[in-house]
């Protein structure tokens, strides 16, 4: 038995480590370690629900829309349960859908091209796909430029990126006119042309397998399919096997019917169960047996207290908690959403990945590519449905007492915020993030997380370079920034920052010839 430690895990969002037990060239056990304290919930206590949206919106600079929106949805739910709010207006629902759809395109491109794409590039894996080579490849560079266009589109609605300020309880703090919406649509169309038509996937797949490239069918589509073909040729379908259990909160709400474009539910034992919001909330618990938190920090998130550290737990190995649904670990993310929605466009997972519902490294990549196209094909429709003459914001009460839950689906998977409000002030707050579901620690029953189970059986031919394990970890698109934050030492410390200031001649910093700063000259 050989112990292998991967720390940090590279090309993921945030600091993470994994300890592997390797025997006869295979992983037989794994511990997934989140290395920073989680405490954003604590900061919200004693503040208003509007403050919580602003604070939690800063949790992560990668998925920088999801927490602000999920917090707003939790506050809205609490106010509606209190009978003090009727819900956001139609325009707000549509614009939230459209903005998150655009963000899906941006975030999936980041994952496919920058975080996992290099694993299947010519520079790293000798696949012949040099367009995927990091920094230098034409496909890599093209993806960066189109991500930039999507970010420009998002700033039209939120004012800045990251951490836009558009989402607030009650709707949106923005009122885009027809011209602004048309500018956003123009940028989305530009990116869509780079990506290529969805119906071209079979022809592009044949092109890539034959070493051909037809830009008229979409440069981006050829590159995305190249990632999938490269992964398939390197055996990604044979590694990273999960338990085939999936959970999704659902996303993209029809403002008229309240139906979700990608539905809410779970998949287990070979069956899809479409569930109500109440059924989802009732089924979730968090376990802290192997986390550096007190027992009171776990349990049902509708009751548990904000995270309280317990550094003396001998068997703890992670700052992440262990979320479970009906006591079971659940995979979340694009694969979960498409399995529950019964979507496998062009049967790619069925034919390349060993089955449409199979959890493995390749199918996670295929599902992300499929979802990119599925969502791309809807975004313009959501934008078209917005009527700039109608309101984007409804009056939201300053003072109410109620409990609420916000359920959402960022690109990485199921996210939920839980809030208790008393007379307009937050008394309790909890967050469960997608990365906790996928790469948290074991629970009190010894049940591993999805990642800890998925890497078992992965081959480790070279303990100095466990490439298969790294590819499996990255296939989940982990984001530690959402899952854990930072813990300050008990001791006090002070940092003095000397701000730069212009001198008489416009210099920054110290002025030449000892001239006094401008502020001394009236």
34 belongs to a structural domain:
no
What residues are designated binding site for Ni(2+)? Answer: 60, 63, 479
279 belongs to a structural domain:
no
20 belongs to a structural domain:
no
Q: Residue written as tokens 């707000």? A: 92
Tokens standing for 496?
Answer: 């003095």
Q: Name the 3-class secondary structure at 275.
A: coil
Tokens standing for 362?
Answer: 């390749």
Q: The domain spanning residue 226 has which CATH number? A: 1.10.645.10
32 belongs to a structural domain:
no
Please give the Cα distance from 128 to 499 (Å, whole number): 50
What residues are designated binding site? Answer: 41, 60, 63, 431, 479, 482, 485
468 belongs to a structural domain:
no
165 belongs to a structural domain:
yes
Q: Name the 3-class secondary structure at 492.
A: coil
Tokens standing for 367?
Answer: 């599902």
H and E: helices and strands count for the chain: 17, 15
Q: Which of 147, 124, 96 is nearest to 11 (CA)?
A: 124
What residues are designated binding site for Mg(2+)? Answer: 41, 431, 485
Torsion of CA 313, 314, 320, 324, to 10 degrees: -90
Q: Name the 3-class secondary structure at 22.
A: strand
Handedness of CA 155, 161, 165, 170 (dihedral sign): positive
99 belongs to a structural domain:
yes
Q: Name the 3-class secondary structure at 349.
A: helix
What range does the domain containing 219 cover?
88-242+359-393
Sort 35 into a burial class: Cβ within 10 Å, 0-12 / 13-18 / 19+: middle
Give the DSSP per-residue string, 128-147.
Answer: S-GGGSTTT-HHHHHHHHHH
How many domains are contained in the chain? 1
pLDDT at 160: 73
pLDDT by 10-residue block (mean), the chain, 522 residues: 90 87 96 87 94 88 83 98 97 96 95 95 96 96 95 85 84 93 96 98 98 97 98 98 98 96 98 98 97 94 92 93 98 98 98 98 98 97 96 96 97 97 97 95 97 97 92 92 54 48 39 35 30
What residues are designated binding site for Fe cation? Answer: 63, 482
329 belongs to a structural domain:
no
What is the Cβ-side half-sphere exposure of residue 440, based on CA atoms within 13 angstroms?
A: 32
């Amino acid at each position: 038995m050989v112990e292998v430690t991967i720390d940090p895990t590279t090309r993921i969002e945030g600091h993470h480590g994994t300890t592997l037990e390797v025997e006869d060239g295979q992983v037989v056990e794994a511990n997934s370690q989140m290395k920073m304290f989680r405490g954003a919930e604590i900061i919200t206590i004693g503040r208003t629900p509007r403050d919580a949206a602003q604070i939690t919106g800063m949790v992560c600079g990668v998925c920088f829309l999801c927490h602000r929106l999920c917090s707003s949805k939790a506050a809205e739910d609490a106010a509606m349960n209190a009978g003090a709010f009727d819900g956001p207006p139609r325009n707000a629902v549509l614009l939230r859908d459209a903005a998150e759809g655009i963000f899906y395109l941006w975030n999936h491109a980041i994952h496919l091209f920058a975080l996992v794409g290099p694993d299947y590039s010519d520079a790293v894996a000798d696949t012949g796909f040099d367009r995927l080579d990091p920094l230098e490849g034409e496909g890599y560079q093209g993806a960066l430029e189109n991500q930039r266009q999507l970010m420009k589109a998002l700033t039209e609605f939120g004012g800045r990126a990251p951490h836009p300020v558009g989402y607030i309880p009650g709707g949106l703090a923005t009122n885009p006119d027809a011209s602004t919406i048309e500018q956003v649509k123009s940028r989305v169309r530009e990116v869509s042309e780079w990506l290529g038509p969805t119906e071209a996937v079979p022809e592009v797949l044949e092109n890539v397998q034959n070493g051909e490239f037809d830009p008229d069918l979409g440069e981006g589509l050829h590159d995305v399919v190249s990632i999938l073909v490269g992964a398939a040729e390197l055996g990604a379908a044979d590694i990273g096997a999960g338990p085939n259990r999936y959970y999704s909160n659902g996303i993209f709400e029809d403002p008229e019917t309240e139906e979700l474009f990608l539905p809410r539910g779970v998949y287990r034992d070979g069956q899809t169960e479409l569930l109500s919001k109440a059924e989802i909330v009732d089924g979730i618990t968090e376990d802290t047996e192997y986390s550096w938190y007190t027992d009171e920090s776990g349990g049902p998130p509708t009751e548990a207290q904000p995270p309280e550290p317990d550094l003396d737990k001998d068997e703890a190995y992670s700052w992440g908690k262990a979320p479970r649904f009906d006591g079971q670990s659940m995979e979340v993310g694009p694969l979960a959403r498409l399995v529950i929605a019964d979507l496998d466009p062009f049967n790619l997972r069925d034919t390349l990945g060993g089955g449409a519902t199979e959890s493995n490294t390749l199918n996670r990549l295929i599902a992300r590519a499929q979802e990119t196209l599925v969502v791309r094909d809807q975004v313009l429709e959501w934008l078209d449905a917005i009527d700039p003459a109608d309101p984007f914001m409804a009056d939201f009460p300053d003072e109410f007492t109620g409990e609420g839950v916000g359920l959402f689906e960022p690109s990485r998977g199921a996210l939920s915020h839980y809030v208790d409000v008393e007379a307009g002030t937050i008394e309790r707050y909890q967050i469960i993030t997608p990365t906790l579901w996928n790469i948290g620690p074991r629970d009190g029953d010894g049940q591993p997380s999805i990642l800890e189970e998925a890497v078992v059986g992965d081959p480790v031919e070279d303990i100095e370079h466990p490439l298969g394990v790294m590819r499996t970890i990255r296939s989940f698109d982990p984001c530690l920034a959402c899952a854990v934050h930072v813990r300050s030492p008990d001791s006090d410390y002070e940092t003095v920052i000397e701000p730069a200031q212009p001198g008489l001649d416009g210099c920054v910093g110290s002025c030449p010839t000892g001239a006094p700063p401008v502020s001394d000259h009236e």
